[in-house]
Amino acid sequence: MRLLFIAFFGLAVGYVMPEGHTGKLPSLGWNSWNAYHCDVDEDKILAAAQALVDHGLRDAGYTYVNIDDCWSVKTGRVNGHIMPNLTRFPDGIKGLADKIHDMDLKLGIYSTAGNATCAGYPASLGFEDVDAADFAAWGVEYLKYDNCNVPSNWTDQYIYCTQDRSDINLTANGTCTSQLDPDLAPTNYDWRDSNTYDRFTRMRDALALQKSEIVLSLCIWGYADVYQWGNDTGISWRMSNDIEPYWNAVTRILNINSFKMNSVNFWGHNDADMLEVGNGNLTFEETRSHFAFWAAMKSPLLIGTDLTNLTQTNVDLLKNEYLLAFNQDDVYGAPATPYKWGRNPDWTYDPYSPAEFWSGASQEGHLVLMLNPSNDTVQRKEVVWSEIPGLSPGCFQVTDVWTGQNLGCLQSYSAEVAIHDTAAILVGSTC
């Protein structure tokens, strides 16, 4: 059970999450933004939902269908409420939710803890109770809550050392100093005293008052040391700026998150942003590396492509039984973490060449990933059991995560790894 602290009338009280309550494991589903941006409507949402069913992705666990920005009337509130754009959503959000629920799926929606959403639509700061009640009445079950257009009276006294922040002056090793950034928060500053914390927890508290459950996902970009307080506010929190369908964006996020994994466990997950599987110019090798690490880091897995054009190869990737089992393990909550950097010395901050050797324990054994970040060279990767936390020298049953092939009883493992590819194995019982 998880104890979530919720503020009512200025008093902190405990609300105990019952077993089975949503949010223990990373969310799986689809989000409209990477595929459509603001060009979103009911037909596209329903087509995505149907594709989840037809591709077998719903049955694999992908159950959220999330509308991102631009779903409402842009000109402003109507009688104090955000009004759905009835040209794009002729049956309203409630009508759409009913159709999504009839497909045994869940509907998510989007708003912002500011004066306007990132695309300039009405947002929820100051209207949390009204909007939370509307979302609940419509049958919404997931809220992505963004961080754009914060009014000046709601900005923070300090800034946090967020590696993706454009107004931060990072040192070569990805850290910050007060010499370079005079507004940097003191080392022991409690970010629960910040305006950012207040902005996001207002929506948390409003959602908690509803009779139906709506999980809260903070799109906060790693600001305000959300790793310190995110777990008593939402089920996940974005730890970077937006992803893009390019290899350098994948390695940038992987590098940042490799230093933030201690905040991940049951009921709270670093959100590495939506999946770019099926998008852009990512190669086959880059695509499966991207998916493998997002699954292993126990990020939410929200598909972000036009599902009606998804290739069978990418469908099979998204349904990989070993990676999904690790991501959704209900006994082991911790993610995979780096145990060796590889080409770079351990703990090197390098957005182009992040940590290469990762492992994590699960019910089925130890998941081990070996990344080749090189732009021009196939690399041979070797795994030594004694280097992996939780393992010792000896022989283990090993399975190839990509093919499902039983590789036998091995004393060690090595593989030729293609450019930007990842070798992935499951190290099982001793033999």
Domain range for residue 374?
Answer: 337-430
Is 242 catalytic? The answer is yes
Specify whether 63 is located in the same domain as 97.
Answer: yes
Specify whether 118 is located in the same domain as 241.
Answer: yes
Higher per-residue pLDDT: 33 or 7: 33
Q: Is residue 234 part of a domain?
A: yes
Q: Is residue 5 part of a domain?
A: no
Within 10 A of 345 (CB to CB), how many other CB atoms are there? Answer: 8
**How high is the pLDDT of residue 140?**
98
Specify whether 93 is located in the same domain as 167.
Answer: yes
Q: Is residue 185 part of a domain?
A: yes
**How high is the pLDDT of residue 166?**
86
Contact criterion met (CB below 8 Å) for 358 and 395: no
| pLDDT confidence tier of residue 21, bands split at 50, 70 and 90 | confident
Structure-block tokens of residue 410: 């091995």
**How high is the pLDDT of residue 253?**
98
Specify whether 78 is located in the same domain as 166.
Answer: yes
Pick the catalytic residue from 98, 129, 242, 306: 242
- pLDDT tens digit sequence for 76-132: 999 999 999 999 999 999 999 999 999 999 999 999 999 999 999 999 999 999 999
Supply the Cα-derived Rg of the chain in whole angstroms: 22
Specify whether 318 is located in the same domain as 360.
Answer: no
Q: Is residue 70 part of a domain?
A: yes
Quick check: 7 pLDDT over 60?
no
Percent above pLDDT 90 for the chain: 94
Specify whether 360 is located in the same domain as 312.
Answer: no
Specify whether 161 is located in the same domain as 211.
Answer: yes
Pick the catalytic residue from 68, 131, 134, 146: 146
Specify whether 348 is located in the same domain as 310.
Answer: no
Domains held by the chain: number: 2
- pLDDT tens digit sequence for 237-296: 999 999 999 999 999 999 999 999 999 999 999 999 999 999 999 999 999 999 999 999
The domain boundary residue, chosen from 275, 298, 328: 328
Specify whether 118 is located in the same domain as 197.
Answer: yes
Specify whether 304 is located in the same domain as 347.
Answer: no
Contact criterion met (CB below 8 Å) for 121 and 69: yes
C-alpha dihedral (321, 326, 327, 330), degrees to nearest 10: 110
Q: Is residue 14 part of a domain?
A: no
CATH of the domain at 103: 3.20.20.70
Give CA–CA dist 372/423, Å, rounded.
Answer: 8
Specify whether 183 is located in the same domain as 40.
Answer: yes
Give CA–CA dist 83/92, Å, rounded.
Answer: 9
Give CA–CA dist 183/159, Å, rounded.
Answer: 6
Give CA–CA dist 368/378, Å, rounded.
Answer: 19
Within 10 A of 173 (CB to CB), how many other CB atoms are there? Answer: 9
Q: Is residue 107 part of a domain?
A: yes
**How high is the pLDDT of residue 20?**
45
The domain boundary residue, chosen from 277, 296, 328: 328
Q: Is residue 19 part of a domain?
A: no
Which residues neighbour 39 within 8 Å (Cβ) at sequence distance 6 or greater?
Answer: none
The domain boundary residue, chosen from 293, 328, 363: 328
Specify whether 274 is located in the same domain as 383.
Answer: no
Give CA–CA dist 44/88, Å, rounded.
Answer: 10
